[in-house]
Amino acid sequence: MSKMDTVRFFQVKPAIHYGIGAISEIGENNFERVCIVTDEGMVKFGLLKMVTDVLDAKGIKYHVFSDVEPDPSTEIVEKGLTHILMEKPDALIALGGGSSIDSAKAIIYYCYHFKEMFFGKEYIKKPYFIALPTTAGTGSEVTEYAVITDKKNNTKIPLTDTLMMPDAAILDPKLIESVPAGATAATGMDVLTHAIESYVSTSNNPFSRCYSAKAAELVFKSLYKCYKDGHDLEAKASMQIASCMAGIAFNSGGLGITHSLAHAIGAQWHIPHGLANAIVMPYVVAFNGRNERADYLYSRLLHSMGRLIDDGKTAPETFVRMIFELSASMNIPLTLKEKGIEAADYQGARDTILKKAMADVCTTTNPVQPTIEELGAVLDMVYGGCHS
């Protein structure tokens, strides 16, 4: 059957305001009461003040919920939900990295479904939802996904609903200027993982591939510059756009087993999401690359990025080298062992990680459906490197 026989859907939803000064957009609506969902880091780094200064200047009232923690838990979302139910804001602003934006999304999701138990849909008014990402990053500002952690079972819970898609995304490079170098590296590698996985996924399409390729190109051009000089706002603006584009790409194209393994590894050892992806990704590219169709897609991606395949090598091998080099240049460990995970600890968690990764929704769109034994072989390399 030709692909043209299937009707598919692609949409870019949020209005995107970008560039230095874009933050002032939040004052351009006649909001009466705003709720800001954020974390303590945003208070400490003065980013919350940048937002409240704009609201104060416009005389807009606001309430701040700043209890979000990295990898937000169901308990944090529950707490945020009571704030929203009491405050009844006409706009909700998520200020922070993926953790704050995902928390705000989950709050909207549960708030809406809670109200649905008592009222008809026509009586439920969703607050206008603005996402201000402070990392470049998850791309959460343009996706309908949120990841919440069930701390009791060390498991990440993915939520998907168009309800959670922001109405507006504001990309102001000033908001990511204060990100420390290590977090810049990790979150930037998350962008690269979104770009590469969505390009080769089984749900990739002409629209998503276009965004994936541009995002990957921008990461190789700008991420190291951001890592070296946190005040290089041109490079930071470029990474913000890459992050947003990669988000648009995977929202439609899906992801793959780098994310499946990274979700389980991140939950097991509390390794930041981007860092887990950076460690896992090259081994997954090598695994997928043995498949003819995936190999072809990796070579098309390199071509779209204006890159050549290394002499005497394949496209996946070229990507593996490029990813290892980029990671090493930013002091990212190349294996879990290098990250400091003990062998006994790894062996103890291996089965749990594999089971969770096999069941992860991202596995369904990986270009190759792995058996648990194959995924185990990939995971062993993620732990100990190519010679483990």
Contacts to ligand NAD by CB under 6 A: 39, 41, 45, 47, 70-71, 96-100, 102, 134-135, 137-140, 143, 145-147, 175-176, 178-179, 183, 187, 190, 273-274
Q: Quick one: what does residue 80 bind among Zn ion, ligand NAD, none, with the CB cut-off 5 to 8 Å set by partner type?
A: none
Residue 221: burial class (beta carbons within 10 Å; 0-12, 13-18, 19+): middle
242 binds, among Zn ion, ligand NAD, none (CB under 5 to 8 A by kind): none
SS3 20: coil
CB 98 within 8 A of CB 176: no
Of 39 and 190, nearer to Zn ion (C-beta) is: 190
| Of residues 74 and 314, the one with the C-beta less far from ligand NAD | 74
316 binds, among Zn ion, ligand NAD, none (CB under 5 to 8 A by kind): none
H runs (alpha helix) in the chain: 40-44, 47-57, 74-87, 98-116, 181-200, 206-228, 233-253, 257-269, 273-288, 292-304, 315-329, 343-359, 372-384
190 binds Zn ion (CB under 5 A): yes
What residue type is 339 in one-letter code?
K
Contact range with Zn ion by CB under 5 A, out of 13-21, 53-61, 185-193, 309-317:
185-193
What DSSP designation does 271 have? -
Q: Which of the listed partners (Zn ion, ligand NAD, none) does 179 bind, with a CB threshold of 5 to 8 Å by partner kind?
A: ligand NAD
Report residue 363: phi and psi, to 5°. Answer: -65, -30
In the complex, the smallest distance separating the C-beta of residue 372 from ligand NAD, rounded to whole angstroms, is: 23
| Of residues 175 and 241, the one with the C-beta less far from ligand NAD | 175
* Residue 17 vs 273, nearer CB to ligand NAD: 273
**Residue 4 tokens, joined:** 């043209």
What's the closest the beta carbon of residue 274 comes to ligand NAD, in angstroms?
5
Beta-sheet pairing, 168-171 with 155-160: unpaired
Q: How far is the CB of 176 from ligand NAD (least distance, A)?
A: 5
Minimal distance, residue 189 CB to ligand NAD, in Å: 10
379 binds, among Zn ion, ligand NAD, none (CB under 5 to 8 A by kind): none
C-alpha angle 308-202-255 in degrees, rounded to nearest 5: 80
DSSP secondary-structure letter at 338? T
Smaller CB separation from Zn ion, 57 or 359: 359
**Rg value, the chain, Cα:** 20
Which residues are at the interface with Zn ion (CB under 5 A)? 190
